Amino acid sequence: MPLRTSAAVLAGKTARVASRMRGGGSALPGLVAEKVDPQFLRHTLSQVTGGIVVVSGTNGKTTTTKMLVALLRAHGRTVFTNPTGSNFTRGVVSSMLPQIGPSGRLDADLAVLELDEAHALKFAATVRPTHALLLNVARDQLDRFAEIDHTARLLAGLARHTTDGVVLNLDDDFVARIADDEGDRLTVRYFGVHASIADRLPELREQDVRFGEPFTPPTPGPDDGLLRPRDERAFDIVFGECAVGPVTLQQRGLAAMINATAATTTARLLLGDAFSAQTAADALALVRPPFGRGEVVMVGGQPLELVLVKNPAGFTVALGTYGSSPVATMIAVNDNDADGRDVSWLYDVSFESLRERGVAWTSGIRAYDIALRLEYDEVPVAHVEPELTAALDAFTAAHPDEPKRIFCTYTAMMALRRTLAARHDLPDFGEEG
C-alpha cells in the first residue's frame, strides 16, 4: 500500500473516532481520507481480487444490495459493502475504514457497493467495477438528476466502465437496451418476471416514449432469473429448467421479490459452479428488511410498518403491495434535499386504494400538500400534523389495538425511525448491513 494511502487510513480512522464522539455524519472520515490520498478508493479496492460489484438504479438499491451480500456471504465469501446506505463515494470510504486492519489491507474477497446513478459513474471513473447490477429507471428527485433519459444515460455510462459483466432488468426498456451497446464486450444476464405474471408489469414500469421506436426485450436464456410468485412472500426464481425455491422473504410484496431475483441472478453469475440453490433460498429467508423498507416495529403489541416512498413508480408499487389491507394509515412527506424539493410527483400516484379506510394522519413538511392531494382522489384525511413526532404520538395513541402503517419519504422515514428506535428495541442504522 502506498505511504500516502497508509497515512489516509490513519487520518480517516482518527476522524471516525472524533466524529462518533461528536455525533457527526458518516461521510466525514471518508472526506478526510480522500483529502490525504485522492486515489484512496483505487489503491484500497485494488486489493479486492474476487470482483467489484456496483448496484445502481432508481428503486431497490439498498434492499437488493443487502440481499446480494447475504447470498455471497452464505456461500463463504468475505464481502465488503457500504452498510450505512451512504451511496456516495465518501460514504464508501467511510464504511471501508473500520475494515482495514493494521496491515493496511481490506479483508474482502469481493466488494458490493450501493451507489446512486450519478455517483456510480463518478466511482467507475476512479475504480472500474468488474460487474454492475442495473435495476431500473424511474423518476426520482428530478430537481437533482433531471429527466428519466438522463438517468438512463448515467446507467449506460456505468455499463461502459464495467469490465466483466452486467445484470440487467429484462422488464425495464431503459435498462434492457443497454445490452445493445455492451453485449459483445460483457457477459450479460437478465432478471425479470415470469410470463405468468406479465400482466402485473404496469405497476412496476415507468412509462416513457422518448426513445421513439418500441423496444422488444430479448428472450430469456437459461442463465437469466425469472420471478414466479406463489403468494405475497413465497416465490421461485426460475433459471431455464432449474429453479431456486421456494424462497420465502421476511419482506412482503412484488418489489421485494424482484429485488431478490436480481440479487440471486447476480450471485449466480459471480459464483458460477459454486452457487447452491438451497443455500441461496436459506440466505434470502434470513434477510431482514433494511430500515424503512417494509420494516415492522411492534408498538404496544401491534405492528407498525414503515414503508419508504420516493417517486411515482415506488409509491404505486407500495400501494399495490400494502395499500388495500385494513390498517390505520399515516403518510409523512418531507421536501428536504435528500427527498427532492419538487413533490409534484405525488400527482402521478393513484391513491384510490386508500379511499375506503382513509388516512388517519398526514405529517411532515408537506403535510398539507399531501392532504390536498388525497382530497383530489376522494381519500378522507382525519388529521394533519406537520410535526413528525407529534403526529406519530397521536397516530399510535388513537389506534392502540390495530396494525398501523406509515408511508414516508426518506428524511421523514429517518426521523420517525430514530424516534421509534429510541423507544423500542431496534438496531442502529449502522447495524443494518
Q: How far apart are CA 238 and CA 367, in angstroms?
A: 43
Cβ contacts of 251 within 8 Å, gap of 6 or more = 63, 233, 287, 289, 293, 294
Q: Tell me which of 342, 348, 393, 428 is the catalytic residue.
A: 342
| The C-alpha cell that represents 263 in the structure block | 440479487
Q: Parallel, antiparallel, or unpaired for β 79-81 and 381-385? A: unpaired
How many other C-beta atoms can be found within 10 angstroms of the C-beta atom of residue 78? 14
Query: Distances from the Cα of 19 to the Cαs of 16, 27, 101, in angstroms?
Result: 5, 9, 19
How many other C-beta atoms can be found within 10 angstroms of the C-beta atom of residue 272? 7
Does the annotation count 180 as an active-site position? no
Residue 111 phi, psi dihedral angles, 5° rounding: -120, 130
Q: Confirm if 55 and 66 have CB atoms less than 8 A apart.
A: no
Q: How far apart are CA 368 and CA 251, in angstroms?
A: 30
First to last CA, the chain: 27
- Active-site residue set: 342
